[in-house]
Amino acid sequence: MKGDEVSLNGFGKFRAKDSAAREGRNPQTGETIVIRASKRVGFTAAKALKDKVNG
């Protein structure tokens, strides 16, 4: 594991991504709310995985 990335040979890479703060809406009340900045997980598939899935 390097920093915010985990690589699995032949499968792909999982990477932490920053998500900026943004406005959202409460679906029950319609009230506008602020969604805090956070981290998300991104995934990039390896060529070997893509080849197996796509035949």
Domain range summary for the chain, segments of one domain joined by + = 5-53
Output the pLDDT for position 2: 58
- As beta bridge partners, residue 40 has 17
Give the tens place of pLDDT for each residue, 4-49: 899 999 999 999 999 999 999 999 999 999 999 999 999 999 999 9
Residue 3 scores a pLDDT above 80:
no
The whole-angstrom separation of Cα 39 and Cα 20 is 9
Output the pLDDT for position 27: 96
CATH of domain 5-53: 4.10.520.10
**8 A C-beta contact, residue 35 and residue 22:** yes
Output the pLDDT for position 55: 86
The whole-angstrom separation of Cα 9 and Cα 5 is 13
Output the pLDDT for position 31: 98
The whole-angstrom separation of Cα 27 and Cα 16 is 28
pTM of the model: 0.65
